[in-house]
Structure 1
């Protein structure tokens, strides 16, 4: 009898061990797999059971959370949603996250280990901290000036602090209200469908995710390449460029919109925007030299993050000389984001030293304790200090005596470059209006801001589109806001 009891006990013990091993297998070894199973809603429920941390502009929150008393308790809210959508992105219970809401999700959702009071605290206690906050580098006055200046037209503005790389404004219009995507249900899916079907593409972040032919604004890059390579030793000396200029290896002539470009100097070619001179100089620098110069400004960098990913600005690395000539004036396959062209202006303003652009100043706990602080980082030496000094004066002449007069600010030193980029089959599309610039306050030791503006309003009359007419006044308003502090 005792023998049978022992056997039964041993069998029960074996079953118990098997149960414990199975429980360990499920709870330890398969925990991550079960957590990630789409059928497991617990993680989603846990994610929304507390308010999300906030995104700050100038110390004030531009986001919030509201209690819905539903299973997914807290929904994201936005203050001035369309104004700040290109900065914040959206945090949707249905469609996920984008931009800062995505790049800083661990901080905002409270899952970042840096928020815990002790190392491994959350792993040991299986707990989650209150969502932390993300303080941006954006200045509210500059963001509003850019948004108002664009006035709902298709376009974008990017503004940088040249000495640090801080992004002071990042605007894309037409925009959208990210709060309409926050929750669940038919209203959210209807809004998603509406935004994505709109011809104006309001959810496209034109400032960092859309590239355009930069047109004549790219001539600043070509000028930097020519000066650094000593292709041009005296920017005020005549060049040997005829007008019109025949593209190398072809019978195609390149015209000028401006007058007086025949044998014009580099300085004059920048001031009145001569296509012929700049195309010729690009060919003289050569493909390798132009590619090297473009890369120093950030072109062809597919890894740029601010912390969200930025679309790659392109300068082809394999071209014939006629294609190189066109690329050197911002045409052919040359494309750039507005942020990239703000980086070009910033490099000139900062003596040739280009800083890495960044949008997040610091992250903090819910109570305000700093978790991580960002700061200036070197990106590239885009040109020599001597070349930067020469280009600064050329850009000043564009505003004071040339095509960029609409960007002038009383009492301030302003440098700029206009651009009207052709595109479409046989250049039949409405041109993109560009303006890049920088501004320095009286008695200041260095420029306060560098700006790039692009306007691509398909509803405008072709003759009314120009960098000096459409884009320069927007840049001026942003620069004025920067100089006011």
Structure 2
């Protein structure tokens, strides 16, 4: 063989070897990332080649699948989409998926390795899809959704003994089925939702934070009892009325000048929602002790997954004394999700032990066999049994004799705390109406609830936690109890 031909042969051999090495690299090192790339049309074709598994609540299938034309042979359907969207999220041929539809995608589309038998594992044949069984109680979910109605807001219910989420509602809501396909109508529906100023696709129960207003006074009261500032909810506090904010010439007053807030007990201060008592209490404790108590209840947690990630609730740091005073009544820069305030109520109801909230009970192989099963986990020892008992007693007074009367349920021990949080620059916008509560029907039947009404048709003077949010919480608690 002459020299030029030999060089050409060696060069060609090197090219072939390089190609083989590259193919091997792509298949082994990058195969998974290329296969799962959102721009790979084969992913969507495979995902929607057959019916998806379903998400269930109380034995009821809240999702479905329907045959279509084209390469994507099936699309997701939602029989009552607006009710369940805050739980399910959406699965769209064009716009991807969110929440449980995304987090449990491999179970729902049959690609989870636990669904495959040995032959399917070798052939990569699609398995029968599995199902996702949630902890949501349809009766509680519907009670919250009906109660919120046309209002903008959110509601959460939790089983305090386990942490199981019984309801997760956000309004206004949206129907994920309107854009589940890939037609021009689906695109139009999607675009309309993106432009909607009311943000129906925002999950307010998990992803929106609000100033918690007077509901945060329960956290401050817990800190006062835990740190020995006061020994019981019936010990008089050292609280002037009005209260001069430290370092200022501004006097804080209470909503009602006739309320018995001067040196009031914690019980009376919660009953009449005395701003002066809890503002001074926060200053007397110091922001570090209030912050420590808030942290035990979930504030500051940026990785709270139920399994959908919740927004971080915040008790601020670096405050001066006057700002600390405002934080004591749930204002300044204190923010909380509805889930967070339901967790506070849950800890009080469960003798001070806060359970980690979760909304998926188990996943299955589409029949009776479970792939995994959730178990109750303790989030923290948020407060002592004594403190929790004292707070339950004081919160019952709020419902029996105070601002939470709209939440009374005959024959059931109900405790609550109302809140009306300032909103907008110089409190120019309508305030947020809050209600957090617990109900104990005996025999281990308990429920903890938080409701926030962000916007309603009520006149500003008629907006209150007890008036707007209280009746919704009552309906949810009644639906949860036997």
TM-score by length of 1: 0.93
SS in 1 for 2:205: coil
Alpha-carbon shift at residue 410 of structure 1 (Å): 0.8
Report the counterpart of residue 233 of structure 2 in structure 1.
235
Question: How far apart, in 1, do the equivalents of 2:34 and 2:303 lie?
Answer: 33
Report the counterpart of residue 170 of structure 1 in structure 2.
168
Question: How far apart, in 1, do the equivalents of 2:137 and 2:409 lie?
Answer: 20
Verify the 8 A CA contact 1:350 1:446 in the aligned structure 2: no
Alpha-carbon shift at residue 378 of structure 1 (Å): 0.4
Alpha-carbon shift at residue 28 of structure 1 (Å): 3.9
Alpha-carbon shift at residue 48 of structure 1 (Å): 1.2
1:119-268 matches, within 5 Å, as: 124-258=122-256, 259-268=259-268
RMSD, aligned CA: 2.3
Cα deviation 1:144-174 (Å, max 9, x = unaligned): 1000011121011000000000000000111
SS in 1 for 2:209: coil
Indicate yes or no: 2:304 matched with 1:304.
yes
Alpha-carbon shift at residue 38 of structure 1 (Å): 6.1
Cα deviation 1:10-42 (Å, max 9, x = unaligned): 999999877766654554455345435666422
Report the counterpart of residue 388 of structure 1 in structure 2.
388
Bigger mean CA deviation after superposition, 210-219 or 445-454: 445-454
Verify the 8 A CA contact 2:254 2:276 in the aligned structure 1: yes
Question: How far apart, in 2, do the equivalents of 1:183 and 1:25 lie?
Answer: 35
Verify the 8 A CA contact 1:51 1:130 in the aligned structure 2: no
Give the length in aligned residue pairs: 476
1:255-404 matches, within 5 Å, as: 255-258=253-256, 259-404=259-404
Question: How far apart, in 2, do the equivalents of 1:170 and 1:39 lie?
Answer: 32
Bigger mean CA deviation after superposition, 94-103 or 385-394: 94-103
Report the counterpart of residue 74 of structure 1 in structure 2.
74
Question: How far apart, in 1, do the equivalents of 2:208 and 2:243 lie?
Answer: 31
SS in 2 for 1:366: coil
Report the counterpart of residue 418 of structure 2 in structure 1.
418
SS in 1 for 2:429: coil
Verify the 8 A CA contact 1:349 1:447 in the aligned structure 2: no
Question: How far apart, in 1, do the equivalents of 2:425 and 2:34 lie?
Answer: 53
Bigger mean CA deviation after superposition, 315-324 or 339-348: 315-324
Report the counterpart of residue 4 of structure 1 in structure 2.
none
Q: How has the CA–CA distance of structure 1 residues 247 and 46 changed in structure 2, closer, same or farther, with 3 Å as cutoff?
A: same
Question: How far apart, in 2, do the equivalents of 1:83 and 1:476 lie?
Answer: 19
1:66-105 matches, within 5 Å, as: 66-105=66-105
Verify the 8 A CA contact 2:37 2:43 in the aligned structure 1: no
Question: How far apart, in 2, do the equivalents of 1:435 and 1:256 lie?
Answer: 19
Question: How far apart, in 2, do the equivalents of 1:25 and 1:379 lie?
Answer: 44
